[in-house]
Amino acid sequence: MELSRFAKCIIVLVGSNFASGAVHDWGYHHGIDPEHWKNEFATCGGKQQSPIDIKTDNVKFDPRLRKFNFFDLILHRDVKVKIQNNGHTVQVDMEDHTIKVTGGGLPGTYIVEQFHFHWGSVDTRGSEHEINGKHFAMEMHVVMHSDRFSSVSDAMNRTCGLAVLGFLVDVGRENPYFEKIISHLKEIDHINKTVTLDKFRLASLFPRTDCYYRYYGSLTTPMCYESVIWTIFKEHIYISEKQLNKFRDLGKIPGSEDMINNYRNPQPLNHRVVTTNCIESFSSVCAEGWKTGRKRRRCEDYAKIYLRTILSLSRPIFHRRDDD
């Protein structure tokens, strides 16, 4: 099964040699804007680019996608992190490079390297991924690299070298866990400023992670390498409007305009298939599906796939019992 999962990751990566510092020419509002990245960075014009608009009617149920194992991440409660303003986002680097994530259909073990954010000037626009054409106020990306490589830099242009956990963020109540980061944003109000936290628990930011979407794509910034296993969780994170405005304030400082509306627009799907482990979505489709012929057929197809997969997974178990 692991071999078949890895086979799905096979992506043709276009190599590119670039001079040191060239990637600093890109931006969201300054320098080379997202619509023209592909003119300067050929890999940004590939066929498996991210982000995308996830059309839930076209999502395929895959029961082979199991739950993630975040046990190691949960155990690391007091991790030292560095919060930095890199001119494009607020990035939080993990000082401990041993935090492992497995499961979730990943082809091996992945190491948590950093997480960062994308946000907009209004609550209805800020996320990079869309769900049925709808944007959200913010998106958080947890970037991991395969343990086959020593760092994100080594893995970013290698097949399935990276995996990103994407969390959509909506406006709601104040989030005390996010406040541990937000309270320090005023200290990194200019590019290259950093602040260090001695104790931070990344898992505290996570909502429920039972249900997710899966597809294969790219980094959403240059060099846009198509080496990423994307996971977009269905459950959203909520922070308050006041907390979100602290991120927006970073983009109001002259020369820091890239620190707001710092997102790339959805890219063409190009025949890629988005899958999910979501029994909940499968059930809701079937509950509504009997009303129309098209949705009814889709529900019947889902039911057949689900039953066939369950039988194939259970057959070896029954066989072993017969041998006993």
pLDDT tens-digit readout, 293-317: 655 666 666 666 666 655 554 444 4
Q: Above 60 in pLDDT, residue 63?
A: yes
Among 307, 272, 247, 264, residue whose Cα is nearest residue 123: 247
Among 116, 110, 76, residue whose Cα is nearest residue 96: 76
Parts of the chain belonging to CATH 3.10.200.10: 2-16+25-277
CATH dotted code for 2-16+25-277: 3.10.200.10
Q: Above 80 in pLDDT, residue 15?
A: no
Local confidence band at 25 (pLDDT 50, 70, 90 cut-offs): confident
Model pTM score: 0.84
* Mean of per-residue pLDDT scores for the chain: 87
Active-site residue list: 88
**Cα 140 from Cα 131, distance rounded (Å):** 15
What are the φ and ψ backbone dihedral angles of 293, each rounded to 5 degrees? -60, -45
The first and second tokens of residue 174, run together, are: 């104040």
Among 104, 96, 102, 203, residue whose Cα is nearest residue 146: 102
**Cα 273 from Cα 141, distance rounded (Å):** 21
For residue range 72-110, list pLDDT tens digits in order: 999 998 999 999 999 999 999 999 999 999 999 999 999
For residue range 150-180, list pLDDT tens digits in order: 999 999 999 999 999 999 999 999 999 999 9
The first and second tokens of residue 26, run together, are: 């890109």
Alpha-carbon distances, residue 264 vs 2, 90, 253 (angstroms): 32, 16, 21
The first and second tokens of residue 189, run together, are: 């109000």
Weakest mean pLDDT among 117-131, 205-219, 298-312: 298-312
Alpha-carbon distances, residue 202 vs 93, 170, 185, 205, 250 (angstroms): 11, 18, 17, 6, 22
